[in-house]
Amino acid sequence: MTIRARRAARIAAASALAFGGLLSAAPGCTTNTCVNGSCTVTFKDGARSATVGGLDDAKVELVGVDGDRVRVVVAGNAAVVTRDVPQPVGRFQVKATEVSPKKVVLKISK
């Protein structure tokens, strides 16, 4: 292997390590699916907000998790939602179906 080839291999390896580090430090993700005015919003790995088109572009924010309770803000209205207990939040009905430090799933309907 020539000096040039070894140098290129080292640079490629260093770039791959750096890129992998950036991916692992990336912010969490949020997904949402909506059917007939009812949406499931999933926050994973530190994600904190989402704009949900199926809810008239309402902004949904995850403020915090405390045991089986979730602090949320939906379209500017704040509330604490207990797991599996539907809660009115402004003009929406919110139910937390899964609550953990790494993942929160909310069912939100109009």
**Across 28-49, average pLDDT:** 91
| 3-state SS assignment for residue 101 | coil
Residue 27 pLDDT > 70: no
Distance CA 29, CA 50 (A): 9
Distance CA 74, CA 20 (A): 34
Distance CA 10, CA 107 (A): 48
Six-digit token string for 97:
């179906």
Q: Is the pTM of this model over 0.85?
A: no
pLDDT of residue 44: 93
pLDDT of residue 6: 57
Residue 23 pLDDT > 70: no
**Across 71-82, average pLDDT:** 97
Considering the chain, what is the average pLDDT of its residues? Answer: 82
